[in-house]
Structure 1
Amino acid sequence: MNVSVKVGQKFPLTIKRLGINGEGIGYYKKKITFVEGLLPGEVGLVQVVKAKPNFIEAKVVKIRERSKERVKPKCKVYDICGGCQLQHLNYDAQLLFKSQIVKDALTKYAKNIPTKIVKPTIGMDNPWGYRNKNQFPVQKKGNQLIAGLYEKDSHQLIDIKKCPVQDKRTIQVTNELRNILTNLQVKVCRNPNKEQGLRYIVTRVAKHSQQIQVTLVCTDDQLKYNQSLIDQIMNLSFVESLSININKEKTSRVLGNQTIHISGKQQITETLGQYYYDLSPDSFFQLNPEQATKMYGEIETQANLTGNESVVDAFCGTGTIGIWLSQNAKEVRGMDIIKEGIDDAKKNAELNNRHNVHYEVGDAYKVMDKWIKEGFKPDVITVDPPRTGLGIKAVELIKSVHPKIFVYTSCNPSTLAKDLAHLSKKYKVVSMQPIDMFPQTAQVEVIAKLVAK
């Protein structure tokens, strides 16, 4: 049906459901309409901001009928900051929404897999202050340095001095850094192609040890000669590690390839369960350690290890999953194409005295092929791929190796469902467990257990 709609036009809209990004979805004259900030059951007066042949995007002008699930957001800049999408929805309803997103993905992309296998989402007792790391771009506003996050769909930087989903210690240190950098008139870079200077402030806290790691991302290494800056930063409470990272590229990537240790410890130490992990400034680590502990425990449960199994942790990163599983496995092997991740995995295995783990740098397909030719066959494979999913090549690899149990952890229900549809020819998908790794956002992690047919 061809509906004539113009940008700026206003009309009332009833919201039927939430979309995968937490946006409200309704229908104007049968055309799907997306509106950020409205909840199912609500009626709002909306204004068109984008009119396309197949859909409409609109913004809220006024809410006429409110949902009983609506709550007041804790964040003062929630309406303009792009960091969270669901602060206006009560937490129990957020968890229901995340389970539904997983079910909807199956219905759309893997119709042969019953939605009843999707379990209730595992949430948090306190769904605030969970993020152990922030990465704030910086700018100058007059003589003041500001640091925060960009407005939605904008290059306008919001100066963030409070963030309810960040660990308070990282925000406190960032606020103190902002003052130090302002007072010392540290040069800021907005365009790395044209100028030198500071680009990002990165702070990470190890929640167990309370150690804080500060990384200043710059276009050059000049700040390492600023002793007053170094002394003031190292005098801040809990700061144990200071580094400079060099990133000259005009890219969305925060960290460049070179990190220079400046003062204090080179790494801070975090724990997950009974395991210790040394974190370098460029080490990947889960942003929500409390939920990561639950997630790894769930992976261990789904792997159903007895102590006699050979396990492969494919695309293993820094080895956190494999190390967790190693206590109840005969052997764990992991591979990743990123050398720095494998270096960290080896160090973490040594730190935890895990002698039954082996890590290799290399393409997963080539490494697995080599291992199989050497006579190794895994009983269990576990993966945690990027948002793009496994893809056909990796799916075919899993099908050909054919382990008894395959545990697939995903941060994107849509790509997970597509991969499961292909895998279901040789595997039965027996359970899917959503975990809320990022409360107040639309993101959901899912652990799927597959058993060989």
Structure 2
Amino acid sequence: IKRMGINGEGIAYYQRLAVFIENGLPGEEVIALITEVHDNRAYGTIQEMIKESKNRTVPFCDVYIDCGGCQTQHYDYDAMLKQKKDIVIKALDRYVKDYDKQIIKDTMGMEDPLHYRNKASLPVRKLYGKNRFGMYQRNSNVFIPIDNCSIQHESVNIILKTIIKLMDQFNQNGFDPKTNQGFITNITVRITENLREAQVGFTTNTQQKLMDEMIYELIDHHPEIVSIYQVIDISHRKQKTTLIYGKETITENINGQSYELGFDMFFQLNTEQAEKFYTKMQTLIEDSEYQNVLDGNKGLSPIGMYLYQQEKPVFILSNNLIEQKKIKDLQKKYPTIHLIDSYERLKLDLMVFDPSRLGIPETDMKMIFKVKPKRIIYGSCNPSTLAKDLETLKSLYEIVEITPFDMFPYTSLVESITLLKLKG
């Protein structure tokens, strides 16, 4: 097995055909059963281990093999950090011509990579007379009950256990697809690690109201819960979200910046690593000695909140009416924000992007080539789209450095921050 794939599988080669080996590790020699064959790839499972990697470890979770939450518990953590750097290198090798591998730094990992997730959203079922929370088996909809998750924050686990106990006590049952009984399909728990507030959501498949007594008992057990929602699945793609207790948001604080988190608002799931990630971005921003900047995230994001408070002009480009309304609301609090609908005649020292897994949108890429900012800071959650974007940009920009971050230990996911400087 030559290397690790983006989903945590081992990749071997048979006559130049890539063979993806489930739970295989780089350096191992195995006899594999081939389960699928396609024109450019094949899939297999380990039948016999001939040479085992020195980095193979015993998974710490009892349901690891079945659960779809983690992919790399069987791999030594420090070795996995090196693999995450290698995943970035392999992506650039594939898409970027002629680059210096020295620009890719070592992966920023965690000293203690357990209990890092500040949010859980888990399915609920009633099994053998008891309510259980769990996960779905890999690549299936088979429910796997779990009692404790080692990557969830301890406070999240404790609240989940209390909820399940109270559901049994008050006969507020999880949905059972076999009998079509029960109405709670999912439980969401989010905690703020720094300020210790909690938010809970119950997803239901009917408009049946949750028992007030259960809610009061839950709050009595956990006074840190300051926000509770019921989310009703109206149809396959439509939900109705209703606040049933407390305030609409909970407050998190990262690097001195406060963030009000609504129930549906995206926020980094790993608070400790988010602090490192945004500290790195802030350092690169400060080192840029910029006079003006474009926030490519178009509004409310942790790095945007930092930019708005620096007393320098921050431009946000948007032609979307919904986006514009949100940005105008932000302008009331942050007068440094300048909403623009065109980049013609715009001159910038710096652009900051932290896009989705799809990478920098084509419209923003056109803006970069028109405006030619002196520096670009690019936060990425997908090495492949990062590499494709860098290949596009390197005709104008020097790739100065790429720092990978392990935001999700024991998964194959890797994020990164890249600094680019205008050539010439």
2:25 alignment partner, SS class = coil
CA distance in 2, matches of 1:16, 1:332: 46
In structure 2, the partner of 1:381 is 351
Q: Which moved more, 1:336-345 or 1:197-206?
A: 336-345
In structure 2, the partner of 1:325 is 307
In structure 1, the partner of 2:98 is 112
1:379/1:404 contact within 8 Å kept: yes
Correspondence for 1:181 among 167, 172, 175:
167
After superposition, the Cα gap between the structure-2 partners of 1:342 and 1:210, relative to the gap in structure 1 and judged at 3 Å, is: farther
1:278 alignment partner, SS class = strand
1:304 CA displacement: 3.6
After superposition, the Cα gap between the structure-2 partners of 1:308 and 1:409, relative to the gap in structure 1 and judged at 3 Å, is: closer
Please tell me whether residue 409 in structure 1 is matched to residue 414 in structure 2. Answer: no
Please tell me whether residue 37 in structure 1 is matched to residue 23 in structure 2. Answer: yes
**Consecutive unaligned residues in structure 1, runs of 5 or more:** 1-14, 361-366
1:355 maps to amino acid:
Y
In structure 2, the partner of 1:440 is 410
Please tell me whether residue 74 in structure 1 is matched to residue 60 in structure 2. Answer: yes
After superposition, the Cα gap between the structure-2 partners of 1:380 and 1:412, relative to the gap in structure 1 and judged at 3 Å, is: same
Q: Which moved more, 1:226-235 or 1:99-108?
A: 226-235
**Consecutive unaligned residues in structure 2, runs of 5 or more:** none
In structure 2, the partner of 1:212 is 198
Correspondence for 2:368 among 398, 414, 417:
398
Correspondence for 1:279 among 261, 264, 274:
261
Give percent identity, aligned residues only: 33
CA distance in 1, matches of 2:324, 2:55: 42
After superposition, the Cα gap between the structure-2 partners of 1:397 and 1:382, relative to the gap in structure 1 and judged at 3 Å, is: same
For 1:46-445, list aligned pairs within 5 A.
Answer: 46-189=32-175, 197-224=183-210, 226-237=211-222, 238-250=224-236, 258-304=240-286, 309-316=291-298, 318-328=300-310, 330-334=312-316, 339=322, 343=326, 355-358=334-337, 367-369=340-342, 372=343, 377-445=347-415
1:47 CA displacement: 1.5
> Per-residue CA shift, 1:264-299, capped at 9, x if unaligned?
232211110111111111111110111111111111
1:67 maps to amino acid:
S
1:317/1:338 contact within 8 Å kept: no
* Length-normalised TM-score, structure 2: 0.90
* RMSD between superposed Cα atoms in Å: 2.7
Please tell me whether residue 27 in structure 1 is matched to residue 3 in structure 2. Answer: no
After superposition, the Cα gap between the structure-2 partners of 1:450 and 1:434, relative to the gap in structure 1 and judged at 3 Å, is: same
Q: Which moved more, 1:106-115 or 1:140-149?
A: 140-149
CA distance in 1, matches of 2:188, 2:169: 19
1:346/1:359 contact within 8 Å kept: no
2:290/2:349 contact within 8 Å kept: no
2:214 maps to amino acid:
L
1:68 CA displacement: 1.1
After superposition, the Cα gap between the structure-2 partners of 1:49 and 1:220, relative to the gap in structure 1 and judged at 3 Å, is: same
1:46/1:58 contact within 8 Å kept: yes
2:280 alignment partner, SS class = helix
After superposition, the Cα gap between the structure-2 partners of 1:338 and 1:408, relative to the gap in structure 1 and judged at 3 Å, is: farther
CA distance in 2, matches of 1:417, 1:28: 26
Q: Which moved more, 1:86-95 or 1:296-305?
A: 296-305
1:248 alignment partner, SS class = strand
Give the length in aligned residue pairs: 419
1:135 CA displacement: 0.5
1:339 CA displacement: 4.7
CA distance in 2, matches of 1:183, 1:434: 46
CA distance in 2, matches of 1:382, 1:127: 28
